[in-house]
């Protein structure tokens, strides 16, 4: 089955506009599953081009304290894979933003890959990002997910060998997630020095969009990435706001404003071109 093409089309659109695509991460179910769709739509209004819905997991080893705590709150609120797929359905009723499930392997294995592939597709999900799957052993899940038209996205890290980068490029569709530095997710004052060389190494193996994450949190980061990558992934900075303002009635407006600052889309409606860099 062919993919929806929404992810590739969005990156192609931003490239044609000489813009850096903004991939926004949101832990599904934090502070509560019923509120996540509204938060997602607020991120889109602020300028998000692609939305990653994080599937909460009890042992998120690649994530820093902000997202670890968000995952814990989401689990306590009763968020599981089925709830995340329902959240995706709610978002899809209102929006055509590309949706990616961001997940560790264990919750998806428990749900069942064949079932997941079908249900995710029916929920309007466009792709699945597998954070802790060894790309050398990814053939079967890739086949199952792509059979239902889902893009598969893998991580390329600074420590990856050339062989692994080649496999990441081969098995990824939609985009390749470039990890800017070793360690866990979290906000940083500056981008890691090794991320540009890593992107250039990947360019030897693929012309698919490259989106850089881990430590991206400011407009300056997004601007800097635009010279050698296609997209910027912002996660911890978003979830820090959710954590601090979860009880606020205007949380949606605060998230929209933060994304607008990153993308300079103040006053623009979703879908309108962003102002030039």
Q: What is the pLDDT of residues 173-200, one digit of tens each?
A: 999 999 985 444 444 444 767 899 999 9
pLDDT of residue 3: 82
DSSP assignment of 148-161: TT-EEE-EE-TT--
- Residue 269 in domain: no
Residues linked to residue 120 through DSSP beta bridges, in sequence order: none
20: closest CA among 197, 253, 219?
A: 219
Is residue 227 a part of any domain in this protein? yes
Q: What residues in the chain have per-residue pLDDT under 50? A: 182-190, 266-277
With respect to residue 123, please indicate whether it lies within any of the assigned structural domains: yes
Q: For residue 251, give its domain range.
A: 6-263
94 is catalytic: no
- Residue 30's pLDDT is 97
Are β-strands 99-103 and 50-54 bridged in parallel, bridged antiparallel, or unpaired?
parallel
Collect all residues with Cβ–Cβ distance below 8 Å to 246 and sequence separation of at least 6: 30, 31
Pairing relation of β-strands 127-130 and 99-103?
parallel
Asked whether residue 36 is assigned to any structural domain, the reply reads: yes
CATH number at residue 44: 3.20.20.70
How many Å apart are CA 177 and CA 13, to the nearest integer?
A: 18
Query: Among the options 30, 44, 49, 52, which is catalytic?
Result: 52
Half-sphere CA count of 196, side-chain side, radius 13 A: 10
Does residue 111 form part of some domain? yes
Domain contains 199: yes
Give me the pLDDT at residue 2, please.
Answer: 77
Cα 47 from Cα 51, distance rounded (Å): 11
Is residue 220 assigned to a domain? yes
Residue 107's SS3 state is: helix
Domain count of the chain?
1
Among 12, 74, 64, CA closest to 39: 74
Q: Which of 30, 63, 90, 252 is catalytic?
A: 63
Q: Is residue 224 part of a domain?
A: yes
- Is 151 catalytic? The answer is no
């Amino acid at each position: 089955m062919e993919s929806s093409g929404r992810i590739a089309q969005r990156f192609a659109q931003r490239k044609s506009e000489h813009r850096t695509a903004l991939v926004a991460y949101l832990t599904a179910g934090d502070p509560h599953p019923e509120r996540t769709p509204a938060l997602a739509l607020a991120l889109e209004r602020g300028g998000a081009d692609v939305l990653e819905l994080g599937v909460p997991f009890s042992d998120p080893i690649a994530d820093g304290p902000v997202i670890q705590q968000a995952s814990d709150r989401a689990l306590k609120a009763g968020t599981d894979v089925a709830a995340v797929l329902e959240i995706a359905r709610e978002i899809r009723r209102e929006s055509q933003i590309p949706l990616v499930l961001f997940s560790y392997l264990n919750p998806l294995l428990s749900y069942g890959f064949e079932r997941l592939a079908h249900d995710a597709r029916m929920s309007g999900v466009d792709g699945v990002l597998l954070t802790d799957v060894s790309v050398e052993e990814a053939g079967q899940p890739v086949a199952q997910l792509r059979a239902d038209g889902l893009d598969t996205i893998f991580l390329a890290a600074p420590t990856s060998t050339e062989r692994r980068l080649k496999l990441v490029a081969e098995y990824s569709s939609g985009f390749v997630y470039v990890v800017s530095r070793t360690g866990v997710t979290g906000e940083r004052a500056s981008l890691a020095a090794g991320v540009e060389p890593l992107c250039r190494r990947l360019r030897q193996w693929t012309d698919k969009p490259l989106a850089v994450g881990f430590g991206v949190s400011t407009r300056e980061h997004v601007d800097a990435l635009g010279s050698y990558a296609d997209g910027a992934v912002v996660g911890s900075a978003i979830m820090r706001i959710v954590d601090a303002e979860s009880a606020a009635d205007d949380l949606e407006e605060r998230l929209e404003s933060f994304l607008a600052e990153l993308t300079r889309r103040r006053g623009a409606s979703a879908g309108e071109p962003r102002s030039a860099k």
